[in-house]
Amino acid sequence: MGYKIVRKEELIPGQTTMMVIDAPQIAKKAKPGNFVMIRTSEHGERIPLTIADCDKENGTITIVYLVVGKTTAELNKLQQDCELLDVCGPLGKPTHIENSGTVVCVGGGTGIAAMHHIAKGHVEAGNRVIAIVGARSKNLLLFCTELSSFCPELRIATDDGSEGHKGFVTEVLKDILETEDEVAEVVAIGPVPMMEAVCKVTEPFGTKTTVSLNSIMVDGIGMCGACRCTVGGKTLFACVDGPEFDGHKVDFAELKTRLWQFKKQEEESMELFSKECQCNG
Find out whether 227 is annotated in a ligand binding site. yes
- Do 251 and 231 contact (CB within 8 A), yes or no? yes
82-97 burial, b for 16+ CB within 10 Å, e for fewer? eebebbbbbbbebbeb
Beta bridge partners of 65: 17
Find out whether 277 is annotated in a ligand binding site. no
How crowded is residue 249: how many other Cβ atoms within 10 Å of its Cβ?
15
Give the count of alpha carbons within 13 A of 52, CB side only. 21
The closest of 106, 109, 92, 115 to 26, measured between CA atoms, is: 92
- Separation between Cα atoms, residue 195 and residue 156, nearest integer Å: 16
State whether residue 132 is helix, strand or coil: strand
Q: What angle do CA 144, 194, 148 make, to 5 degrees?
A: 15
- Separation between Cα atoms, residue 150 and residue 206, nearest integer Å: 28
Find out whether 239 is annotated in a ligand binding site. yes
Torsion sign (Cα): 231, 240, 108, 210: negative
Binding-site residue numbers for [2Fe-2S] cluster are 224, 227, 239
Binding-site residue numbers are 224, 227, 239
